[in-house]
Amino acid sequence: MEKNFVTFLSPGTFLVEQTRQPIKSWDVKKAIEMSKNINKRYGALPYGFYFTARGRSDDDLDSKEIKRSNMYYLGGQVFTLQEVKDRKNPKDRILISNMECNGWDKIIVNDNSWQWARPLKESDVVLDYSLQG
């Protein structure tokens, strides 16, 4: 038995808020539409999502993740470490330190609801997305 899910990620107070919902297939357009119905605490809206397939055999008590997609970001701006440094904003001090210490070459900053910065991996996809669209 195998079933597909989409997990939406929204900014939280200390950690990422996750909302996992079943989906028929790994359909990006369908997931974008579904994201518009997600609203977490304090009005936090999703900044991205990923797909998973969960499965189990007749002998398994519970399902387990058997496949995971790359991350899809619902819009945002991409910045390199050098671009963040070039802004010369004293508020970027911790961000720059985190990028250097963790080896993050690029980040994505999304402000669909609350501004949220995440490391951007090569396999991640930044979708052309607008809250009005």
Q: Pick 106 or 63 by higher pLDDT.
A: 106
Taking only the tens place, the pLDDT of each residue in 19-64 is: 999 999 999 999 999 999 999 988 899 999 999 999 988 887 888 8
pLDDT of residue 69: 98
CB 44 within 8 A of CB 10: yes
pLDDT of residue 63: 86
CB 78 within 8 A of CB 118: no
**Which residues neighbour 7 within 8 Å (Cβ) at sequence distance 6 or greater?**
18, 19, 20, 21, 49, 50, 51, 52
Q: Is the pTM of this model over 0.85?
A: yes
